[in-house]
Amino acid sequence: MPLLDDAAVAERVLSHIRNQTTDRGDAVWREPVENYRSQERFAREIECVLRRSATPFCPSAALPEAGSYVAREAAGNALLVVRGSDGRVRAFVNACRHRGTPVARDAGCAKAFVCPYHGWAYRLDGRLHHIPHSEGFPGFDRESHGLVPLHCEERHGIVFVTQDAEHALPTGDDELPEVIPADQRLLDSRASELPVNWKIFLEGFVEGYHIRPAHKETFYPYGFDNLNVVETCGPHSRVTYPFRRIEKLRDVPPADRRVEGLLTYVYHLFPNAVVAVLSRHTNLVVLEPLAVDRTRMVAYTLARCDDDPESLAEAKRDAEFVNETGAAEDRDLVCAIQSSLAGGGNDVFTFGHYESAIVHFHRQLATALARCDSRGE
């Protein structure tokens, strides 16, 4: 089903406020704790889900011009994404075809990619352009030794990469809106590692059941206790976190209601990314599993292209509050959950009717893994 438009979301939120209700899921899900600890399960999630899904790699705004690139690991492999001279975004395995050295690191802008080991050079479209002292490689076929391409798509303001396109999972993206509009520009990017399983980390983003006890002095004074709109779209979901000030729309005709600045949309893009659309900025967070108990968070903060210094300063202040204050509380909690896993206090984690986006995630994950099982993989 397509996601609700802003006016319909506002009407549902106002109804929940009036009736002291919230969206409820259709089932309770019990996830075995061993699924957060098992090395075998972790390896299957990487191979059967993350490498076969169209996973968000970076926002389009991180590649603003020809030669702009981002190089990092995703699902355990070194990847390179670059905008070509033709404006098209391409993805490659980040390994020189000579001896496997990565040809780019971090992010930047380049006219070509030159291997730092022996100087082999590649064009922005991945073609092998130059081999120093090429006479040492008689009969070498340059045309078949470009950087190895990966399936790459740019949509909804995001660059998606599928590493195993031959066994790709359905994307379910047809009904997604333009999650990151074209008028957004990149303010900041950062990466950090946390000692936590990637699923525990992800679960903290997509439920509002915890807002009052976990964010008592940060988010809760501006929001509600356990009041959310939860929608699904293919394997993805969207959770709406309304602010108290949304009540000023109650006397506004439904057709005239505008929700900007009155709520936060949090999209879970299956399997491992979250987009939070806040009042003055947008965050794209990609959770890259490094080990069964370790995750790298790659985060991008964007705001509208606006020459107004005051608006830009407000966006930066909002981003600092969200990223360094409220989000830090969530990070502390998910790390504490991870530290408890070995103690045997729980055989399962129980996700109830108010955590339906997490239930949807685990259903989708289980379906993807069962697909592997059915093929004997």
For residue range 347-370, what is the model confidence (pLDDT) as tens digits? 999 999 999 999 999 999 999 999
> What is the per-residue pLDDT across 4-59, written as a single tens digit (0 to 9) for each?
999 999 999 999 999 999 999 999 999 999 999 999 999 999 999 999 999 999 99
Provide the pLDDT for residue 176: 85
In order of 5, 53, 225, 352, the CA distances from 12 in angstroms are 11, 32, 16, 21
The DSSP 8-state label assigned to residue 23 in this structure reads -
Average model confidence (pLDDT) across the chain: 95
Query: In whole angstroms, what is the distance from residue 312 CA to residue 34 CA?
Result: 45
pTM of the entire predicted model: 0.95
pLDDT at 307 over 70: no
What are the DSSP calls for 77-121, one per residue?
A: EEEEEEE-TTS-EEEEES--TTT---S--EEEE-SSEE-TTT--E
The two tokens of residue 26 are 């259709």
Q: Copy the structure tokens of residue 209.
A: 């059941």
Architecture of the 57-167 domain: 3-layer Sandwich (2.102)
Provide the β-strand partners of residue 158: 59, 155
What pLDDT does 128 receive? 98
pLDDT confidence bin for 74, thresholds 50/70/90: very high
Count how many residues are written for the chain: 377
Measured distance CA(37)–CA(100) in Å, rounded: 32
How large is the average pLDDT for residues 211-240?
96
In the chain, pLDDT over 70 holds for what percent of residues?
A: 99
**Residue 52 DSSP code:** T
246-289 residue pLDDT tens:
999 999 999 999 999 999 999 999 999 999 999 889 999 999 99
Residue 312, pLDDT > 70, answer yes
Per-residue pLDDT tens digits for 232-248 = 999 999 999 999 999 99
pLDDT at 175: 72
Q: What confidence tier does 309 reach under pLDDT thresholds 50, 70, 90?
A: confident
Two tokens, residue 203: 């679960």
Where in the chain do CATH 2.102.10.10 domains reside?
57-167
The answer, yes or no, to whether residue 376 has pLDDT greater than 90, is no
∠133-139-142 over CA atoms, to 5°?
70
The two structure tokens encoding residue 57: 């790699």
Q: What is the pLDDT of residues 325-335, one digit of tens each?
A: 888 999 999 99
CATH fold label, 6-53+172-374: Naphthalene 1,2-dioxygenase Alpha Subunit; Chain A, domain 1 (3.90.380)
Dmax over CA atoms of the chain, in Å, equals 79
Report CA-CA distances (Å) from 70 to 65, 248, 272, 301.
Answer: 12, 43, 18, 15
User: For 91-112, b where at least 16 C-beta lie within 10 A, e where not — what string?
Assistant: bbbbbbbbeeebbbeebeeeee
Give the integer Cα–Cα distance in Å for 221 and 215: 9
Comma-separated ranges of CATH 3.90.380.10 domains in the chain: 6-53+172-374
